[in-house]
Amino acid sequence: MSVEASIREKARELGFDGCHFTSAAPPESRERLDDWLQAEYHGEMAWMARRVERRHDLQKVLPGAQSVIVLTLNYFPEGAKSDESAESMSSSASDRPRGVVARYARYRDYHKMVGKRLKALAEWLPSLSGVDVRSLPYVDTGPILERDLAERAGAGFIGKHTNLISRQLGNWLFLGEIVTTLELEPDLPERNRCGTCRKCIDACPTEAIRAPFQLDARRCISYLTIELRGSIPEALRPAIGNRIFGCDDCLAVCPWNRFAQEGNMMRDYRRYDLDQPDLLELLELDEEGFYRRFAGTPIVRTKRRGLLRNVCVALGNVGDQSALPHLERATQDPEPLVVEHAEWAIKRIRERYEPLLTGM
């Protein structure tokens, strides 16, 4: 068995859905990254502009690097519809308003699970060779262009929504990489297979996909509800709907999702209570309650003030008059960010319902 075949077998044993190889040569998208940063499409994600030279050159990440092992992990949930959008997920038998959480966040935080297995694979690599092997594993945590490397390794192609699409698994994918000094036979790169399709562009509620393969993160709902620390621009709040953490709409409409399968590794880490959380219940969370509810999930990234900001926006968009007492209490919150968005939500609800009452 070849070294590459042995690594693939070990990766499958560890629960990964795909294992691909590419060289440690500089990524071809270096100029596109520089242009994207120059346009300030990264918004407040200042870390994207730091250590750019490492994103350009893997030798600055790991001197002597020869190869990159790209691991893919599917997180498509059992029983879900491959084209399920935020609108189709928001319906509920309950008359209480519900929120939508991006699919990847309806599990325990994948960084720890994937990182543990990547580390195990990296530590196993020296057993394949008599020479010293140095390796660095990454799970969306280091200055490397992982989607570009994944495309070059044949794991998938970067779609017009700028996410990776696998012909075998669709685009519900987590990525992990191991940069290594071990020399491996590279796989053939994947070519783009979007064709004339523009479903992801048309589906974006905020028109964040400015052109094919060009995302303005400042307008992306995932950025607005997760990465942005301050106020959400008022002009974009109505388009957020009832999304309170991330957005899957551009992913959900991709035709390649017809091949999506249930993910193996993530199955045991599903958080079913995050499928359609009760917005009014979330608005009542104090600091301790927030961390007790979301500890170990990606949602802690927003902190309490960020999540409650998002909940207020969602209630302003989908809530009725029954939400007003809850929002009134939120205007007394110690966090000014929550107060501001609660006041906006109250105004939105009153604008919707007071004309109906006066017209009766």
- Tens-place pLDDT, residues 277-296: 999 999 999 999 999 999 99
- Residue 39 CA to residue 73 CA, distance in Å, equals 32
Share of the chain above pLDDT 70, in %: 93
In the structure, what pLDDT confidence band is assigned to residue 83 with cuts at 50, 70 and 90?
Answer: low
In a domain, 102, yes or no: no
In a domain, 268, yes or no: no
Look at the chain and report how many structural domains it folds into. 2
Please pick, among 34, 140, 187, 275, the residue that the annotation labels catalytic: 140
Check residue 44 and give its pLDDT: 86
In a domain, 146, yes or no: yes
Check residue 359 and give its pLDDT: 55
In a domain, 7, yes or no: yes
Q: Is the pLDDT of residue 157 over 70?
A: yes
> What is the span of the domain harbouring residue 28?
3-76+107-180
Q: Is the pLDDT of residue 125 over 80?
A: yes
Q: What is the pLDDT of residues 32-52, one digit of tens each?
A: 888 888 888 888 887 777 777
Among 180, 196, 228, the domain-final residue is 180
Q: What is the pLDDT of residues 133-152, one digit of tens each?
A: 999 999 987 778 999 999 99
Domain co-membership, 175 together with 320: no
In a domain, 272, yes or no: no
In a domain, 87, yes or no: no
Segments in the chain forming alpha helices (H): 3-13, 30-38, 52-56, 86-89, 110-124, 146-152, 199-203, 221-222, 237-240, 249-252, 279-283, 287-294, 303-318, 324-330, 336-358
Q: Is the pLDDT of residue 93 over 60?
A: no
In a domain, 208, yes or no: no
Q: What is the mean pLDDT of residues 227-236?
A: 97
The reply to whether 268 belongs to the active site is no
Q: What is the mean pLDDT of residues 108-129?
A: 91
Domain co-membership, 141 together with 12: yes
Q: Is the pLDDT of residue 87 over 50?
A: no
Among 160, 180, 200, the domain-final residue is 180
Task: Judge residue 88's burial from the number of C-beta atoms within 10 Å of its C-beta, 0-12 exposed, 13-18 middle, 19 or more buried.
Answer: exposed
Q: What is the mean pLDDT of residues 103-120?
A: 92
Check residue 32 and give its pLDDT: 83
Domain co-membership, 174 together with 282: no
- Residue 27 CA to residue 177 CA, distance in Å, equals 14
What CATH number has the domain bearing residue 326?
Answer: 1.25.10.10
Among 162, 180, 198, the domain-final residue is 180
What is the torsion angle, in degrees rounded to the nearest 10, for the CA atoms of residue 108, residue 139, residue 251 and residue 201?
Answer: 140
Domain co-membership, 30 together with 160: yes
Who wins on pLDDT, 356 or 237? 237
What average pLDDT is seen over the chain? 91
Domain co-membership, 173 together with 282: no
In a domain, 254, yes or no: no
